[in-house]
Each structure stands twice: as C-alpha cells, then as structure tokens.
Structure 1
Amino acid sequence: MVAVIKSGHSIRRIFNYNELKLKEGKAELLCAQNYPLDTEKLSAAQRLNMLLKQAELNKNVTRNSIHISLNFDPSETALTKPILTEIASAYMERIGFGDQPYLVYQHHDAGHPHLHLVSLKIKADGSRIDTQNIGRKLSEPARKELEQEYNLVRAEDQAKKDYKIKSAYSAKIEYGKSESRRSIANVLDAVLPSYKYKSLPELNAILRQYNVIADRGLKDSSTYRNGGLFYKIIDRDGTPVGVPVKASLFHSQPTLKFLEKRFENAPADNLKTRIKNAIELSLLKSPRQSLQSLADNLIKDGIYLAVRQNEDGIIYGLTYVDNVNRCVFNGSDLGKAYSAKGLLERLSTINQPGVKQEQVSRQQQLFTKEEAEQQSKPSGSEIMDALLHQETGGDYVPYPFKKTRKKKKRRNLSNNN
C-alpha cells in the first residue's frame, strides 16, 4: 500500500474534486466518519458544511485541509468495500485523525484500487493537528502495520506499477485508452515542478511530448480575457481531441497564475551549451541531413526539437527541450545559427526531397516579431562568444577596414619655438 498525503488551503476544493468523481460515476462514497448522521442520510451539502464549520474554529490555520490517497497493488482488486473502509479507519486512527470528521471515497478511474480520504486539521476544540513530518513519523509505521495485518502487497514491492508517474517518452497519452483528466494530471505533476520554462509556448513544447497542450483560447474569448486556461489532449497530428479540462479542476491548481510564477524561474544560460554541442555534432557527422533526421538524432541525446509551423506548413520557429537538464530554449535564445532561418539554411533545405524551393524561401523569411526582436538584441553570453570565437571560412574584409592608417608626422616643437 502506498499512502500520499497532501495539505491544502481549501477544503471546498478537495471536497468538490471527489464529489465530481461521484457524480460522474467514477467514485463511490464508502463512509462519512464522525458525522452526526449515518452516511446514507447525509446530503453533499451537509457533508461539506460540517467540515467548513469546524475549520472556522481556528482561522489562523491557513492550510487547514488534508487529502490522503491510499493506493493498493493492481492485483488487490478483490478487496471488498467493508475491508477498504476498515483499512481507511485504522489508518486515520494511527496518524492522529481518528476523531476527526472525514470522508472516504473509492475511485474507479485508474488501473489499481485506491481510496481518497478528505478531512481537516482543526479539532472540535479549535486546536490544530500538527502534520509536520507526519509521513515519516506516523504514516510509514501505520502503512507497514496495515500491510501485515491485511496481507497487503508491500509498498517496497510496488516500484514499477501503472499508477506511478512515468518519465517523458513513456507517458504519452492515447485518447480513449485511459481516463483523460487523471492522465493529464499525471503529466502535469511530472512536468510543471521539475522543468524550467519562460512562457506558455515553451511549456507546450514540453507537454507535446506527452500529447498534451495548455491553451488560453482565442484572444477575443472570455477565457483569454479572464486569465483562464484549459488543458487538452492532442493526437499525433497535434489536433485537440476530447473535452478540454479547466486548470482549476485539477487538484494541483496548474492555473495561468501558477504558471506565471514558474515563468520567472528561467533556465541558466550555461544550459544552452549542451544543446548547441549536440546540434553541432550531428551536423558535423551529416551536414546535409533533413530537419527530421536532425530531430531524430537529438532525441538520442535526450533533446526534443519542437517545430512551429503556420497553417500552410511553413516553419517559422524552433524550440529545443532538454529532457536531461529539464529546460527549454527557443532557437533564437541559442543564437541565430540555431533559429529556424539559420538552421534551415545550414541544413540545405532546398535539396531536401518533398520541399519546394519557394517554400524554403518563405520559411527563411517568415519569423515572429518576438523572434526578430530577440535576434536583434544579443545577450551578454552571445556577445562574449562573438568576441572570443575564432572566425573560420571567410576571407572577406570590408573595404573601409583595408585602408592603411597614415602615420601622423610628429611636430617638432623645438623648431616652432
């Protein structure tokens, strides 16, 4: 059994997350413990109100809610509802929440049995339950004891089960084969806190590896104006499929406001070197390869090349995702030679099969305003590179610099006196 404990600022949000699963038929309410009425006699409003009223007894506690998931091995599907309820009650008792009002939900949206427990840190007398180090001090011993008592598969033996978060390249979502919201949530939990990105397009370059994108909607839409955000599953062609999911519906709250704070954590310039070296090495081995061949070669080094195109299929930008250092850079951030225009010229795109010469010409001229501005303003590191880099392969010198300087004759001051 694996126990995951999260505390939060909003009891209502945690409650609504589980109740929505209930309405969708993807969860069941097993019990409402320490409530004045039996579970089946309680309405949703009554279940929530008791938690909210008890939380009001101590308004100084900002992170007043607790959300726990108990995850069982996929082989343990035979666990009955009464047994699951017993396990949940015994667990809550041993971590100090046995006397608290709490709700036990069984979810059916994953490939393994699991429970969600919703409670709060405020006791009936207004005092606060200390949850610092609760995982190590109380949850781990309780988990191990329950595994023995109920003959459960040990957490140590569940190292590579389906519900674990997977790495890039192995967690691509295929629409219709798994529950959409949970699949997107797994991707977001793996990507958002661990990668460094400066904008929504850069984040989408990472998410596309998982067949997910974040979308603000059209600029004249109410979603865009109000700072809203949706997450969508995309197919192999990058076309959204299924129903978009609001950012606010995810438990981790990956809203635009949250992302904007992450945008401030930009990757360091020294992380650019690895990407540039990988590109140069690939071009050195095969200077006239196609863009797709280059992308395939970079994948071997853990670098994903995201190509930005317009509706006509014209390439206007490149973004590089380094999955080893977990960072993202636009081509123009690396320098002109690695931008869309510069790289297409170096790859000799005109000679590539299936690419028309006029299309290449348009590709080399088509750039966003943002990229043009970035290219016209070299960074400090790029200036240093230019100063220290030894130029090769060019003998042309502009005429003004060929002119020899005439030495000025020194005036004999003694003769003038």
Structure 2
Amino acid sequence: MVTVINPAHSMHRIFNYNENKVKEGVAECIGAENFPLDAEDMSLKIKLGYLLKRTELRKDVERKNVHISINFDPSETGMPKEKLMEIARVYMQKIGFGQQPFLVYQHHDAGHPHLHVVTTNIQPNGNIINLHHLGIRKSEPARKEIEKMFGLVEADKHQRRQVFQLKPVDVRKVQYGRTDTRRAIANVLENVLERYRYTSLPELNAMLKQYNVMADRGSEDSRVFKSGGLVYWVLDEQGNPIGVPIKASDFHNRPTLKFLEARFTGNEAKRLPHKVRVKNAIDMALLHKKTLPIDELIKALKKQGIDTVLRKNEDGLLYGITYVDHRTQCVFNGSALGKAYSAKAIQERCLQKEVPAQDLLPHPALKPSIGLQTQATPAAETKAASNDLQPATLLSGTGNVLDALLQPEHASDYVPNQLKKKRRKKKRKNISDNQ
C-alpha cells in the first residue's frame, strides 16, 4: 500500500475532480465519515457545503484542504467496499483525521485499485491539524500497521522510491483516438498543475509534453491570444498537435491563463531552494569527463530523477533546455539556473570545447569553471539569482561527493579590525658594498 497526501488551495477543485469522475462512470463515492447523513443520502451541494463550512472557520489559512490517495498493489483488485472503507477509516484515525469529515471515492480508471479521500485539516474548534511532515511522522507508520492488519501486499521501499519520486505523476500517456480526450487531458492537468512548481508556459509545457499534452495561447494575431485565452492540445508521437483543441474554461477545474499566471508568481519563491540540487546533478555528471554526449548527460540526470527536455527549431538546432526535477517537483529553464546551464553552455560543456558559432543560436558566454555548490537558503538563492548565479569554485581533491553536497556554506574571510594584528615593518639595514 502506498499513500500520497496533497494539501490543496481549493476545496471546489478536489471535490469536483472526484465527483466528475463519478459522473463519467469511472469512480464512485463509497463513504462519508463524520457527515450528518450517509453518502448516498446527500446531494453534491450538501457534501461540498459541509466541508466548506468547516474550512470557513479559518480564513487566514492558505492550504486547509487535503486530498489523499491510497494505492494498493495491482494484485489486490476485487476487495469489497466494506473492507476498503474500513482501511480508509483506520488510516485516517492513525494520521489524526479520524474525527474530521471526509469523503472516500473508489476510482476505477488506473491499472491498480486505489482510493481518494477528500477532507480538511480544520477542526471544529478552529484549530489546525499540522500537515508538516505528516507523511513521515504518521502516514508511514500507519501504512505499515495497516498492511499487517489487513494482510495487504507490503510496499517495497526501493520500488516506491522509483515510482513515487522519479515518476510521481500517476497518469497514462494521452493517445489521441484511444481514450476520451477531455478526460485524459483532465487527468494529466490534475496531477501536474497543483504538484509541480513552474514559472512560465514553456516550463509547464516541458512537463505536460511528457504526457502528450500541450497548453497553447495561439499565434499573436489569433483571437485566442488577443482575448487572453488558452487551449489544450493532444500531441502525437512526434509532438505535433492533433485533433481539436479544448478550451481551458471547458474543464471543471478551469486551468485558464489567469489561473496559471497566479501559479507562476507563487512558484517562483517556492522553487528557489531546489535550484542547487539540479545544478549539482549536472555538474557531477560532467565532472572529470573529457567529453560527454548530451544524450549521456540526459541519461545520467534521469537516474537522479531529473528529466531533460530539449527545444529545437525547424532546422534541428538546439535553442532551449528545460530540467524537470521529479524529486522536488520543480521545473527550471536552463537560463533560470544560470548561464552555465543554458542550451548553448551545456553543449559546450559536453564537448569541452568552443562550439562553432554557426552551429548554435546566439547565447551569452559560458563561465569557464563549474563546480559543486552548497545548499542555499531562499534568501541566498535570490541574491545569487541577481548576480547571474556565479558558479562555485571547483572542489579540489577526490573527497566524498556526499560530504561536498552537504557541507555548510563557507563563512566570509572578513575579520574585525580589532582582531587584526598590525605588522611592524622591519627596517632593512643598508649594507655598503665596501663591507
């Protein structure tokens, strides 16, 4: 069993996501705990209204809505609803949500059985259930106990790390003509928009294109662009739009340009602390390598949970590069990390020589010395960003790489004047040539 806890900004969004699945016939609401009525006796308005009334007790809290998924092994299909509800009740009790109102949905649109739970962390007295490290503190111990209690397949640690860190978006690639287009795109958007930190449309598309989806504003002279609209396309295997685009406003969660722009602003600060991890991963892959084909660099980064998306023009020339870090769920254009991580600079570093100008699109010059960088605070990252993120000095010796990555930031060489010892100049005696 594997559980994923996602705090959310909007109760409407996570509630509508699950209820729309019910309408489409790929999910069902199998229970409602701590509500005034049973699930089958409540209308949608009553379900949502009861949850919203609780969240209104704390208007000062930004994230007070919680969306939890409980995932079972593919071999555990066919479990009765009564058993699934009991598992959900025990789990919620063990993580401290036993007295909270929560809805349980069973989904049938994936290759493994799983539940979705919609709830809030606002208690009746207005106090908040702390979500910080809830997964480590309570969810993991609860998962292990429930596996033994109900005889479930135990989740292998290595396997879970690969599936839920390197590939955290649990959706199938959209293939035009094989699945319902709108529903498939909606599944991708639900798993990407709230989880990942991106600050521009190209960065978002670098993530979406891995699932054959693209957000598009249209050409500058198009009606969609002029009206501030946005559409979503399905892409074929070559990355070309096919079929008919769907307007953002047609999706139940309304992933419009206005919504995305608000995310762009908020994500900028949230992803700052995670820049160093991506830069160090790139530097480590290139360390001590005389030459490293860019394809090999991509493979090396993928082992670290980082996907590399290359952008080329019609002539096949590389003009952009984007890094998608699945472990921290952050997306960075190369230029956002610094000049040394841009498309042109990465090509030069891979070849370890100057690339002829005619082979590359114009780009600022590359700093010559690249090395591991220590983890910085958001404030330090902000300062570094304003200084073009100067690369750190290459670490000498062949010491432990992990020590290098985890070492604290070096203090400055500043010494107060009071502690400085004045050196007295020694007078040299003049020695005559006659002595």
Q: Is the 8 A contact 2:175 2:212 kept in 1?
A: no
* 2:150 corresponds to: 150
Distance in structure 2 (CA, Å) of the matches to 1:240 and 1:172: 18
Matches within 5 A, 1:250-261: 255-260=260-265
Letter in 1 for 2:72: F
Q: Is the 8 A contact 1:14 1:251 kept in 2?
A: no
Q: Is the 8 A contact 2:34 2:102 kept in 1?
A: yes
2:344 counterpart of 1:334: yes
Against the structure 1 CA distance between its residues 79 and 314, is the aligned structure 2 distance closer, same or farther, given a 3 Å change threshold? same
Matches within 5 A, 1:395-414: none
Q: Deviation of residue 29 (structure 1)?
A: 0.6
- Residues 72-116 of structure 1 deviation map (CA, whole Å, 9 limit, x = unaligned): 111110211111111112222222322222111111121111111
* 1:237 corresponds to: 238
2:310 corresponds, among 297, 306, 310, to 306
* 1:25 corresponds to: 25
Any unmatched runs of 5+ in structure 2?
302-306, 336-340, 349-353, 369-435
Q: Deviation of residue 202 (structure 1)?
A: 5.4
CA RMSD of aligned residues (A): 4.9
Against the structure 1 CA distance between its residues 238 and 44, is the aligned structure 2 distance closer, same or farther, given a 3 Å change threshold? same
Distance in structure 1 (CA, Å) of the matches to 2:283 and 2:142: 48
Helix, strand or coil: the match of 1:233? strand
Letter in 2 for 1:94: K
Q: Is the 8 A contact 2:213 2:233 kept in 1?
A: yes
* 1:215 corresponds to: 216
* 2:15 corresponds to: 15
Q: Is the 8 A contact 2:312 2:318 kept in 1?
A: yes
Which one is further off, 267-276 or 23-32? 267-276
Helix, strand or coil: the match of 2:52? helix
Helix, strand or coil: the match of 1:103? strand
Letter in 2 for 1:20: N
Distance in structure 1 (CA, Å) of the matches to 2:147 and 2:232: 37
* 1:403 corresponds to: none
Q: Is the 8 A contact 2:22 2:28 kept in 1?
A: yes
Work out the percentage of aligned pairs sharing the same amino acid.
37
Helix, strand or coil: the match of 2:129? coil
Helix, strand or coil: the match of 1:159? helix
Distance in structure 1 (CA, Å) of the matches to 2:323 and 2:137: 37
Distance in structure 1 (CA, Å) of the matches to 2:201 and 2:48: 35
Letter in 2 for 1:150: F
> Greater CA radius of gyration, 1 or 2?
1
Q: Is the 8 A contact 2:230 2:248 kept in 1?
A: yes
Letter in 1 for 2:310: A
Q: Deviation of residue 227 (structure 1)?
A: 5.1
Helix, strand or coil: the match of 2:159? coil
* 1:318 corresponds to: 319
Q: Is the 8 A contact 1:103 1:119 kept in 2?
A: yes
Distance in structure 2 (CA, Å) of the matches to 1:64 and 1:296: 43
- Residues 138-161 of structure 1 deviation map (CA, whole Å, 9 limit, x = unaligned): 323322222112111123368259
Helix, strand or coil: the match of 1:70? strand
Matches within 5 A, 1:237-386: 237-241=238-242, 244=246, 246=248, 255-260=260-265, 262=267, 281=291, 306-309=310-313, 313-314=314-315, 318-321=319-322, 328-329=333-334, 334=344, 378=364, 381=367
Distance in structure 1 (CA, Å) of the matches to 2:238 and 2:324: 22
Q: Deviation of residue 65 (structure 1)?
A: 1.6
Q: Is the 8 A contact 2:123 2:129 kept in 1?
A: yes
Distance in structure 2 (CA, Å) of the matches to 1:300 and 1:92: 40
TM-score (norm 2): 0.60
Distance in structure 1 (CA, Å) of the matches to 2:254 and 2:83: 27
Against the structure 1 CA distance between its residues 108 and 223, is the aligned structure 2 distance closer, same or farther, given a 3 Å change threshold? farther
Helix, strand or coil: the match of 1:75? helix
Distance in structure 1 (CA, Å) of the matches to 2:284 and 2:94: 49
* 2:88 corresponds to: 88
Q: Deviation of residue 328 (structure 1)?
A: 3.9
Helix, strand or coil: the match of 1:255? helix
Q: Deviation of residue 30 (structure 1)?
A: 0.4
Distance in structure 1 (CA, Å) of the matches to 2:191 and 2:52: 29
Helix, strand or coil: the match of 1:137? helix
Against the structure 1 CA distance between its residues 273 and 86, is the aligned structure 2 distance closer, same or farther, given a 3 Å change threshold? closer
Distance in structure 2 (CA, Å) of the matches to 1:261 and 1:19: 28
- Residues 353-400 of structure 1 deviation map (CA, whole Å, 9 limit, x = unaligned): xxxxxxxxxxx9xx8xxx6xxx5xx46949xxxxxxxxxxxxxxxxxx
